[in-house]
Amino acid sequence: MQHSKLSDLKAGDVLAGRYRIVSLLGSGGMSLVFLAEDLKLNGKRWAVEYNEVTNQSECWVTIMF
């Protein structure tokens, strides 16, 4: 998934083909933290950090327990 700006992300978008955004929890620097549902684990909810580095099309996620 590629977005021109982090602010383009919204509820319903899917990150890394696995995490469906529910809502924004916080932001700072170059990343946003979302409440997201895990599509591979029956909707289990996680805090997922999305970090966009200059024009990269891939995102990385950090699952926080």
pLDDT at 54: 39
Distance CA 57, CA 27 (A): 20
Angle at 8 between CA 46 and CA 30, to 5 degrees: 65
pLDDT at 55: 33
- Would you kindly state where each structural domain of the chain is located, as residue ranges? 6-64
* Cα dihedral 34/13/31/46 (nearest 10): 30
pLDDT at 4: 46
Per-residue pLDDT of the chain (65 residues; tens, 9 = 90+): 444 455 678 899 998 888 899 999 888 877 778 888 989 999 888 888 777 663 333 445 555 55
pLDDT at 5: 55
Architecture of domain 6-64: 2-Layer Sandwich (3.30)
